[in-house]
Amino acid sequence: MVFSDGLNLIPGGKDMASKLKVLLSQEEIKEKVRYLAELVSRDYQGKAPLLICVLKGAVVFLSDLIRNLEIPVEVDFMAVSSYGNSTITSGVVRILKDLETGIDNKDILIVEDIIDTGLTLSYLKENLLSRNPRSLKIITLLDKPERRVVDIEPDYCGFCIPDEFVVGYGLDFNEKYRNLPDICILLEFQ
Ligand code: 5GP
């Protein structure tokens, strides 16, 4: 088990490290984010899309993504919660924090950390479409296509990953591990 930035970032230190396995290193992530930013910059040439970041997990991805973009952008945040525990999505979604402005006639890019069953994003997409944006696309860093229960696909995707619960690079388990620079599989839940 090797962490690029040391065990001191992991709650529980060395003991907890044995419960984590690196799936995507920070170098791989950095390279992919640059690539995604190139695609987005190219596709939105001459436009200034509003990036809607889904809190909290996508914050790290958003902050790296926008610094690699070569187009003007606006940023806003939404927080949603799915009823249920922290590892299983129920499909019933509640808006905890809504956008600050209307999106009528704007080009919207939803920024997600991970798509799992697709239920959260499906709800969010329908909700935002009802507000009449000019266009709406989805970018996600991670996708677990095996787990999908609704028909929804991202327009841009960083990595397709296996059906494992991952943490780091913004993703948490019970609010822990968000600050890990790598994306890791959580091998034990406690
Ligand atoms: P979905 O509605 O697509 O099933 O779930 C989306 C949300 O569930 C994500 O935005 C994320 O908050 C959470 N989620 C799904 N899979 C994982 C995972 O492997 N790790 C973490 N930390 N959260 C996940």
pLDDT digits (tens, 9 = 90+) for 103-155: 999 999 999 999 999 999 999 999 999 999 999 999 999 999 999 999 999 99
> Has residue 64 been placed in a domain?
yes
pTM of the model: 0.90
**Res 173: pLDDT:** 96
Q: From ligand 1's centre to the CA of 47, what distance in Å? A: 30
Instruction: Report percent pLDDT > 70 for the chain.
Output: 86
Cis before 32 (ω within 30): no
> Has residue 72 been placed in a domain?
yes
Q: How confident is the model at residue 2 (pLDDT cuts 50, 70, 90)?
A: very low
Q: Measure the CA–CA gap between 58 and 52, rounded to whole angstroms.
A: 10
3-state class (DSSP) for residue 4: coil
Total structural domains within the chain: 1
Nearest to residue 94, comparing CAs of 82, 103, 77?
A: 82
Domain with 130 in it: what CATH number?
3.40.50.2020
Q: From ligand 1's centre to the CA of 161, what distance in Å? A: 12
> Has residue 54 been placed in a domain?
yes
**Res 141: pLDDT:** 98
Residue 183 φ/ψ, nearest 5 degrees: -100, 125
**Res 163: pLDDT:** 95
Q: Does the pLDDT value for residue 190 go beyond 60? A: yes
Instruction: Determine the residue of 114, 142, 149 to mutate for testing ligand 1's pocket, defined as the one with the most ligand atoms within 8 A of the Cβ atom.
Output: 114
> Has residue 13 been placed in a domain?
no
Per the structure, the complete domain to which residue 158 belongs is given by 26-164
**Res 23: pLDDT:** 98
Atom of ligand 1 nearest to the CA of 112: 10
> Has residue 52 been placed in a domain?
yes
Active site residues per annotation: 116
- How buried is residue 33: exposed, middle or buried, by Cβ count under 10 Å (0-12/13-18/19+)? buried
> Has residue 178 been placed in a domain?
no
Q: Does the pLDDT value for residue 89 go beyond 50? A: yes
> Has residue 177 been placed in a domain?
no
Nearest CA to ligand 1 atom 11: 114
**Res 93: pLDDT:** 85
Residues 18-77: pLDDT tens digits? 699 999 999 999 999 999 999 999 999 999 999 999 999 999 999 999 999 999 999 999
Contacts 24+ apart (CB under 8 A), 184-189: 184/20, 184/21, 184/22, 184/23, 185/20, 185/21, 185/23, 186/19, 186/20, 187/18, 187/19, 187/20, 187/21, 188/19, 189/87, 189/165
Q: Does the pLDDT value for residue 9 go beyond 50? A: yes
**Res 4: pLDDT:** 46
> Has residue 84 been placed in a domain?
yes
